[in-house]
Amino acid sequence: MKTKYMNPYLAGFLLGFVLLMAFYFSGRGLGASGAVKDVLVFSMDKVAPTHTAENHYFGKYVADGANPLNNWLVYEMLGVVLGGFISGAIAGRLKLRIEHFPGISANRRLVFALIGGVLFGFGSQLGRGCTSGSALTGMAVLSLGGFITMAAIFGTAFAAAYFFKKNWIG
Amino acid sequence: MGPLIPNEIIAGNWNFLIAFVIGIGFGFVLEQAGFSSSRKLAGMFYGYDTVVLKVFFTGAITAMLGLLFFSLFDWIDLSLVYVNPTFLWSAIIGGVIMGLGFITAGFCPGTSVCAAAIGKIDAMIFIVGIFLGIFIFGESFPLLQNLFVAGDMGSPKLNQVLGISGGVLALLVILAAAIMFWIGEWAERKFPREEY
């Protein structure tokens, strides 16, 4: 089937190459949720520095005056924003819109997007990384935890798909 | 020999610029693959679009083989490459919660940033949700601390656990992926879809 997107196997090869370059240059893989955490801790530190420093999870990122934004993942994610934007611009996909299955309302879509984000944010901290940092990168370095997290993410999404049918296929 | 920054072949102050350039490549490829569309991503779980399966596994296998080859050629010292640690219970439960998030929203964090970059408002709301979720985790950390560190196994590799070499594991992953790709191609013919 002809689509406006890149051939998925070619895109996968290029994704793997980018990941390999991250290993080759920086000795580490890709990630996403970690950068969100860094921005969150940075903001919390501005609003409530004492509370942030005393928090047992966030505190270590601001210990000894450290700036959580001085992190590899933050710069990588800035690149992701630019790279995604360039690709969208070339492909003519830049458009402010709410994308959803026509069978549901835009508001319903936004509510589920918010809930899903909360779940992913929470789960990524418990699982020490999200689909990029834990599953994809973890699998590439053959980490046992990477394979487990990958199987748990995709297995759960498959198992629960029936109950979310209305939102995607009606 | 790589990794170039940890081995000090390239000075450490280049690391963030390299991260930025790698990020550009990462974001560009994700968007080109169609990962900026939640409906394409969610198609994976209903069979009408298996782009997630194809891109994710082709990517993981490419990087996996790349590392094995680079190591074989002495281009990279694998002992300097970070291996994700395994905490059994948090890996499983965290993964289950992320899986629920995936089917609820049709995004994961990396893809949502890509989608937000091209103007998807639902992706921007998803990112607000990620902030909230991380905040809730951190604020309730005292309750979660035991679970977070339960089942600490160090940083084992799956092939060590199975008692096989990294190359044999990579071969098994390739064979598994080939079967899944075949099923995916079959499913896409069976379940009709529109382009979005």
Q: Where are the domains of chain B?
A: 12-190
Neighbours of A35 (CB within 10 A): 26
Tokens of A13: 């090869």
Residue at A77: amino acid letter? M
∠ at Cα A9 (A142, A2), nearest 5°?
Answer: 155
Instruction: Name the band, by pLDDT with cuts 50, 70 and 90, for residue B107.
Output: very high
What is the three-state SS of chain B? CECCCCCCCCCHHHHHHHHHHHHHHHHHHHHHHCCCCHHHHHHHHCCCCCHHHHHHHHHHHHHHHHHHHHHHCCCECHHHCCCCCCEHHHHHHHHHHHHHHHHHHCCCHHHHHHHHHCCEHHHHHHHHHHHHHHHHHHHCHHHHHHHHHCCECCCCEHHHHHCCCHHHHHHHHHHHHHHHHHHHHHHHHHCCCCCC
Inter-chain CB proximity B113 and A85 less than 8 Å: no
The residue of chain A nearest to residue B91, with distances taken between CA atoms, is A127
Q: Give A-chain residues touching B16 at CB under 8 angstroms.
A: 70, 72, 75
Instruction: Name the band, by pLDDT with cuts 50, 70 and 90, for residue B88.
Output: very high
Tokens of A134: 């834990």
Tokens of B41: 């991503």
The conformation of residue A6, written as its DSSP 8-state character, comes to P
The overall average pLDDT reported for chain A is: 96
Choose the mutation target among A6, A57, A75, A126 for the interface with B, i.e. most B CBs under 10 Å: A126
Which pLDDT value is given to residue B192?
76
Residue from the list A8, A131, A150 with its beta carbon closest to the beta carbon of B54: A8
Inter-chain CB proximity B39 and A123 less than 8 Å: no
pLDDT above 90 (res A1):
no
Q: Give A-chain residues touching B117 at CB under 8 angstroms.
A: 80-82, 84-85, 88
Helix (H, G, I), strand (E, B) or coil at A143: strand
pLDDT above 70 (res B45):
yes
**Angstroms from A63 CA to nearest CA on chain B:** 16
Which pLDDT value is given to residue B193?
74
Inter-chain CB proximity B139 and A153 less than 8 Å: no
Which pLDDT value is given to residue B128?
98
pTM, two decimals, is 0.95
Inter-chain CB proximity B64 and A142 less than 8 Å: yes
Inter-chain CB proximity B5 and A83 less than 8 Å: no
Which pLDDT value is given to residue A3?
59
Q: Give B-chain residues touching A32 at CB under 8 angstroms.
A: 108-110, 113
Average pLDDT of the segment spanning A22-34: 97
Helix (H, G, I), strand (E, B) or coil at A10: helix
Q: Give B-chain residues touching A44 at CB under 8 angstroms.
A: 135
The answer to whether the beta carbons of residues B67 and B76 sit under 8 Å apart is yes
Cα dihedral value A100, B43, A147, B24, nearest 10: -60
Inter-chain CB proximity B91 and A145 less than 8 Å: yes
* Percent of chain A predicted with pLDDT > 90: 96
The answer to whether the beta carbons of residues A154 and B94 sit under 8 Å apart is no
CA-CA distance, A70 to A63, in Å (whole number)?
13
CA-CA distance, B190 to B171, in Å (whole number)?
29
Q: Give B-chain residues touching A82 at CB under 8 angstroms.
A: 23-24, 27, 117
Q: Give A-chain residues touching B88 at CB under 8 angstroms.
A: 145, 148
pLDDT per residue over A125-158, tens digit each?
999 999 999 999 999 999 999 999 999 999 999 9
Inter-chain CB proximity B91 and A95 less than 8 Å: no
**Angstroms from B44 CA to nearest CA on chain A:** 8
The answer to whether the beta carbons of residues A24 and B75 sit under 8 Å apart is yes
pLDDT above 90 (res B180):
yes
∠ at Cα A135 (A131, A138), nearest 5°?
Answer: 135
Cα dihedral value A80, A85, A87, A89, nearest 10: -170
Which pLDDT value is given to residue A14?
98
Q: How many CA atoms lie within 13 A of A92 on its CB side?
A: 2
Look at the alpha carbons of A95, A101, A104, A110 in this order and tell me if their dihedral is positive or negative: negative
pLDDT above 60 (res A71):
yes
Which pLDDT value is given to residue A2?
46
Closest CA to A122 of B192, B163, B100, B189: B100
Choose the mutation target among A80, A128, A143, A169 for the interface with B, i.e. most B CBs under 10 Å: A80
